[in-house]
Amino acid sequence: MTSSLRRLADACEAQLQDGALSSDLRSLIDERATSAADETPSLAEGLALASSLRVSLAEPSVDPKSAAWRARAREVVDRAHGALSACFPRPTAQRVRGLYVIVDPEHTCGRDVVEMAELALRGGATAIQLRDKVHDKGQVLPTARRLTALCHEHGAAFIVNDHADLATACGAHGLHVGQRDLPAAEARAIVAPWQFIGRSNNTVEQALESLKQSADYIAVGSMFASPSKGTAIPAGVETLRRVRRAVPKDTLIVAIGGINLENVDQVVAAGADSACVISAVCMAKDPQEAARHLVERIKEVRRG
């Protein structure tokens, strides 16, 4: 175990440049027999080591002294795992660029959510999110798995709303959390390192906090009054502009809330990389055509 701890400390120092975390890990090693260090491990190897140690340290100990050490070791190893996971590349997050459609059984005019997702994808959507606040997770899981496979077929991203465990179980590309859901940093400990995380934001301050939590994209909204948001006061396009100015240029921004064919040009012009819609596609008479028109409009605005 000490050799694995040493390798994990090396990984944190090499990949994260985090001397404090590396020092904490090495202090644990000093209390045990040490072993020679090998070559500098990769990020993936560091994650594998951390995952292995988390399993090893979960085994209970009858020795009080050992139990105390293991408890401290678990805390430090969990921190290392979270930090390394946050650095893991998640290129599939870039698939949310373009048209991002949320399918929700309460907003499909009675149509099946998988059927709705397929129509949106045929119309050019690049990302599908499943939001289901009606059914139990056991009922949602088969649908989530079907949507995962469907999005794979179309080269699109599939995102699960709220539930990190459900996203992990179905193999979704990503997870979306709100301000009142599990913090992105905590969700990172549950989902796989390759799964991206998006987070909802209403203000610049929230957006900056989401980036601190290593969110892979930040959703800003509501842009306009929205049927799915009830009486919520829109954050507005100006908030989107302020967020765009406040965050690094490579930050992936999703605009959401009340977006339709008549106003999508405003959010794209304000700096959104993605336009997220529900009603504009899922409540349309012809969802595929509605998606196609939105995609065309987004492309037109980007071409200038």
Same domain, 73 and 109: no
Residue scoring higher pLDDT (8 or 268) = 268
Full domain range(s) for residue 65: 2-87
Same domain, 67 and 211: no
Q: Which residues of 182-197 are buried (b: 16+ CB within 10 A; e: fewer)?
A: bebbebbeebebebbb
Q: How many other CB atoms are found less than 10 A from the CB of residue 62? A: 6
Does 234 have pLDDT greater than 80?
A: yes
Residues 13 and 133 in one domain: no
- CATH number of the domain where residue 183 is located: 3.20.20.70
What would the pLDDT profile of 261-302 be if each residue is shown by its tens digit? 999 999 999 999 999 999 999 999 999 999 999 999 999 999
Give yes or no: residues 33 and 45 share one domain: yes
pLDDT digits (tens, 9 = 90+) for 103-144: 999 999 999 999 999 999 999 999 999 999 999 999 999 999
Report residue 34's pLDDT band, with 50, 70 and 90 as the boundaries.
very low
Report the interhelical angle of 64-87 vs 19-30 (nearest 10°). 150
Which letter, b or e, does each residue of 68-80 get, where b requires 16 or more Cβ atoms within 10 Å of its Cβ? ebbeebeebbebb
- The Cα 275–Cα 294 span in angstroms is 9
User: Same structural domain for residues 54 and 159?
Assistant: no
Q: Are residues 143 and 270 in the same domain?
A: yes
154 lies in the same domain as 120: yes
**Lowest-confidence segment of 14-18, 115-119, 154-158, 250-254 by average pLDDT:** 14-18
Domains contained in the chain, number: 2
Assign 228 a pLDDT band (cuts: 50, 70, 90): low
Q: State which of 35, 54, 87 marks the end of a domain.
A: 87
Q: Which two three-digit tokens encode residue 225?
A: 């009054």
| Calpha distance 290→297 (Å, rounded) | 11
pLDDT band at 231 (very low <50, low <70, confident <90, very high): low
Q: What is the pTM of this model?
A: 0.85
Tens digit of each residue's pLDDT (9 = 90 or more) over 39-72: 677 898 899 889 989 988 988 876 878 888 999 9
Of 87, 115, 140, the residue that ends a domain is: 87
The one-letter amino acid at 226 = S
pLDDT exceeds 60 at position 35: no
Per-residue confidence band for 146, with pLDDT thresholds at 50, 70 and 90? very high
Q: Is residue 230's pLDDT more than 80?
A: no
**Residue 69 and residue 204 in one domain:** no
Mean pLDDT of 220-247: 89
Based on the fold, state whether residues 144 and 223 are members of the same structural domain: yes
Same structural domain, 42 and 175: no
On whether both 152 and 263 belong to a single domain, the answer is yes
- Residues of the chain with pLDDT > 70: what percent? 95
Q: What's residue 167's pLDDT?
A: 98
The per-residue pLDDT for 195 is 97
Final residue of a domain: which of 37, 52, 87? Answer: 87
Catalytic residues: 131, 200, 229
**Mean pLDDT, residues 152-166 taken together:** 98
Average pLDDT, the chain: 92
Nearest one of 22, 26, 23 to 11, comparing CA atoms: 22
- Do 175 and 237 lie in one domain? The reply is yes
With a cut of 90, say whether residue 175 has pLDDT above it: yes
pLDDT at 1: 66
Helix (H) or strand (E) holding 102: strand 98-103
